[in-house]
Amino acid sequence: MRLVHWEIGVLLGAITGGSALVLGVIALLVAVPGLVWAAREPARPLGLAGLLIGLGAGVAGLFALATARCAASNSAVDGFVQSCSSPDATPYLVFALVLIVLGGALTVLGLGRARHTAA
């Protein structure tokens, strides 16, 4: 049972998901090698599961941070009103949640497979 593969996948996914909106297509430079690594490693479900969880968490965290910063910048000081309105991020957050759930299911599958082969 190699949880190191899962941890590396989470790290690569979080970096990719967190930088996707900031770096755009350049974030694929991290995602593509991560996907190739996850597909080629011996404990495949664990690496891919970590990658999915990290990607979902990174995207969700980025959108939550953007929404929080926008809400924090809404203020009225000395009669001047500053307002920020962000677009609806619900579809992106649902997509991120789906990635996290898929990653969690693959984690359970990978751990079950590792215990079954070890026994």
For the chain, the distance separating the N- and C-terminal CA atoms, rounded to the nearest angstrom, is 12
Token readout for 25 is 């297509």
pLDDT of the residue at 114: 63
pLDDT number for residue 100: 94
CA gap 69, 87 in Å, rounded: 13
Of residues 98 and 68, more confidence is placed in 98
* Dist CA 101 CA 10 (whole Å): 13
State the pLDDT at residue 97: 94
Give tens-digit pLDDT for 45-88: 788 888 889 989 988 888 888 888 887 777 767 777 778 877 88
